[in-house]
Structure 1
Amino acid sequence: MESIIEFKDVSKEFEGNLVLKDLNLTVKKGEIFVLVGPSGSGKTTSLKMINGLIEPTDGDLYFKEKRIKDYNLQKLRWQIGYVLQQIALFPTMSVKENIEVIPDMLGWTKERRNKRVDELLQEVDMEPEQFRDRMPSELSGGQQQRIGIIRALASEPDIVLMDEPFSALDPISRASLQDLVLKLHQKLGNTIIFVTHNMKEAMKIGSRIAVMHEGKLVQCDTPEEIQKHPANQFVEEFFDETTDEVYAQTLEALYNGGFYQKTTSADTALKNLSLDTSLSEVFELLTEQDAFLIKQDEKILGLINRSDVFCFLSREG
């Protein structure tokens, strides 16, 4: 497979601190390449080098076999989409205007821009007639992030950079947007470089994963190989470590807080969970179905759906 990005002996020093050390890696055209690691591992620094926001102290970085330092940076960035954790939609511009920013700069005709906006809104299940003229303040957080994603795709860029785009979202919204990225990638076939500190997220969406630690590349391989053959103890422990605190809470906390609907009737189409089920299992189940039954000692206690969980998370926050 043809390469699109290549790091050759790349290092970066900030105020005497070496934050990236002799990085060598290749990103292949059309893959989802994930940079994963704890804070301070060098993953975001590496990402920002690709669109010229940060320059290497040593070594060279190549885009389509040409050194990035040899590009006109403005023209380079028009070929690269960017999705941030802070969605950064322009607040005084409509959804449509936000999406077509780069196509407009590139001189696309109004007809072509309109068609592209409507196509992308439909791809993320947002009806164009309902959403294209809305302002960002009229959208939910998840809707804003969907617009951020399709804005990055609007100009049909060669590569899309995603810097922890879902880390501020609740687990259900996060899982939904992960699925959306996979769906859009399958349809559009663009190259995505995705930064996350969450190994579970990396395993779900990555074609290949680069595990980073203290500015060094520790392992680069497919999710399956990393899971079966971690390079060292750090990779093994990082893969196994628990996610944030809300995942460790139990369903009992949700139930005792009154965030459920009373029912005694069994719906055979719904799965049953017991009160000691962790919320991580609840979140995973709710990405597959809208609701489930709580059952304890063969007795049905009630029904919980996505909206109940959202209310619970809001109250707890």
Structure 2
Amino acid sequence: MESIIEFKNVSKEFEGNVVLKDLNLSVKKGEIFVLVGPSGSGKTTSLKMINGLIEPTDGDIYFNEKRIKDYDIQKLRWQTGYVLQQIALFPTMTVKENIDVIPDMLGWDKQRRSQRVDELLNEVDLDPEQYRDRMPSELSGGQQQRIGIIRALAAEPDIMLMDEPFSALDPISRASLQDLVIQLHQKLGNTVVFVTHNMKEALKVGNRIAVMHEGKLIQCDTPEEIQKHPKNQFVKDFFDETNDEVYTQTLETLIDGGYYLEAQPADEMLPSLDIATSLSEVFDLLAEQEAFTIKREQKIIGTIKRSDVFRFLSQEE
């Protein structure tokens, strides 16, 4: 598969501190490429070099076989979507105005921009009639980040950069938006470079993962290979540390902690789960469902809500 981004012998120093050391990697066109590692590993510095926010001290970075330094940086950034942890929607602009800001700069006509806004809002299950004229302050954190994602896609960029995009969100919203990135990628076939400090997130969203530590690339491979064959003890320990055991617990754990409401009468319209269901399965369901009933031996014994699970996970994490 053809590469869209290449790092060749890239190093970076800040005031005498080496933050990247002889980095060599390539991002293939049409993949989700994840940079993962602990704080200070150099992953965000690497990401910011792709759109020229940081320049390397040594080495070269190539975008479509042309050195980044040889581009008109402003035009390059228009070809690059960017999603930050701090969402960063313009607070005095409507949802529509936030989404079409780059297409407007690129000279798209009004009809084309409006059509693109509505198309993208529908992609993330936000009704255009209901949301296009809202202000960012009227949206939840998860909704704001959805707008941030489609704003980055609005001008049909060649590549999308995502820097810890979901780390400030609650676990339910984070799982839902991870699914969204995967779904949009499958539909659009776009190239995504995704930075995270969480191996669990990296394993879920990445086609390939680059594990970084202290400015060096330790291992770059598919999620399956990294799980089966970690290159060294650091990779193994990092994977084990972020593969949180809380998600292997069951609904019974929550019930023992008092996190459920008795259903009197039982709401037969809600989906039901057995008390032995793992929290990992519960977590996936709650991305779409506000509440469900719990069964023991085929009998409904209670109802549990999204807020109950989030409260439990917040205490455990």
Q: TM-score, normalised by structure 1?
A: 0.90
1:283 is matched with which residue? Answer: 283
Report matched runs for 1:10-49 at 5 Å.
10-49=10-49
- Taking structure 1 as reference, are residues 313 and 212 closer, same or farther at Cα in structure 2, changes over 3 Å only? closer
Distance 1:278 1:184 in 2: 27
1:231 is matched with which residue? Answer: 231
Q: Percent identity?
A: 80
Kept in 2, the 8 Å contact 1:160–1:193? The answer is: yes
Greater alpha carbon shift after TM alignment, 262-271 vs 24-33: 262-271
- Taking structure 1 as reference, are residues 53 and 3 closer, same or farther at Cα in structure 2, changes over 3 Å only? same
2:272 corresponds to 1:273? no
CA offsets per residue over residues 166-203 of structure 1, 9 Å max, x none? 01111111110011001111111110000001111111
Report matched runs for 1:84-103 at 5 Å.
84-103=84-103
- Return the offset for 1:273: 2.6
- Taking structure 1 as reference, are residues 23 and 311 closer, same or farther at Cα in structure 2, changes over 3 Å only? closer
Distance 2:245 2:181 in 1: 25
1:137 is matched with which residue? Answer: 137
- Taking structure 1 as reference, are residues 125 and 266 closer, same or farther at Cα in structure 2, changes over 3 Å only? closer
Kept in 2, the 8 Å contact 1:146–1:177? The answer is: yes
2:183 corresponds to 1:205? no
Q: Secondary structure at the match of 1:69?
A: helix
Report matched runs for 1:33-72 at 5 Å.
33-72=33-72
CA offsets per residue over residues 285-316 of structure 1, 9 Å max, x none? 53476545456799864221324435667899
Kindly provide the amino acid, as one letter, of the partner of residue 164 in structure 1.
E
Q: Secondary structure at the match of 2:39?
A: coil
Kindly provide the amino acid, as one letter, of the partner of residue 272 in structure 1.
D
Kept in 1, the 8 Å contact 2:271–2:292? The answer is: no
Kindly provide the amino acid, as one letter, of the partner of residue 271 in structure 1.
L
Distance 1:123 1:272 in 2: 33
- Return the offset for 1:248: 9.4
- Taking structure 1 as reference, are residues 51 and 242 closer, same or farther at Cα in structure 2, changes over 3 Å only? closer
- Taking structure 1 as reference, are residues 191 and 298 closer, same or farther at Cα in structure 2, changes over 3 Å only? closer
Kindly provide the amino acid, as one letter, of the partner of residue 71 in structure 1.
Y
1:189 is matched with which residue? Answer: 189
Q: Secondary structure at the match of 2:236?
A: helix
Q: Secondary structure at the match of 1:271?
A: strand
Distance 1:181 1:205 in 2: 8
2:304 is matched with which residue? Answer: 304
Kept in 2, the 8 Å contact 1:273–1:293? The answer is: no
CA offsets per residue over residues 129-185 of structure 1, 9 Å max, x none? 100000000000000000000000000000000000001111111110011001111
Distance 1:2 1:80 in 2: 18
Q: TM-score, normalised by structure 2?
A: 0.90
Greater alpha carbon shift after TM alignment, 25-34 vs 253-262: 253-262
Q: Structure 2 unaligned segments of length 5 or more: list them.
A: none
Kept in 1, the 8 Å contact 2:208–2:223? The answer is: yes
Distance 2:267 2:92 in 1: 50
Kindly provide the amino acid, as one letter, of the partner of residue 165 in structure 2.
P
- Taking structure 1 as reference, are residues 313 and 138 closer, same or farther at Cα in structure 2, changes over 3 Å only? farther
Distance 1:136 1:43 in 2: 29
CA RMSD after TM alignment: 2.9
Distance 1:224 1:313 in 2: 27
Distance 1:55 1:289 in 2: 45
2:147 is matched with which residue? Answer: 147
Q: Secondary structure at the match of 1:241?
A: helix
Q: Secondary structure at the match of 1:56?
A: coil
- Taking structure 1 as reference, are residues 288 and 100 closer, same or farther at Cα in structure 2, changes over 3 Å only? closer
Q: Secondary structure at the match of 1:34?
A: strand
- Return the offset for 1:270: 2.0
Kindly provide the amino acid, as one letter, of the partner of residue 131 in structure 2.
F
- Return the offset for 1:279: 5.3
2:73 corresponds to 1:73? yes
2:115 corresponds to 1:120? no
- Taking structure 1 as reference, are residues 225 and 243 closer, same or farther at Cα in structure 2, changes over 3 Å only? closer
2:157 is matched with which residue? Answer: 157
- Taking structure 1 as reference, are residues 313 and 233 closer, same or farther at Cα in structure 2, changes over 3 Å only? closer
Kept in 1, the 8 Å contact 2:198–2:242? The answer is: no
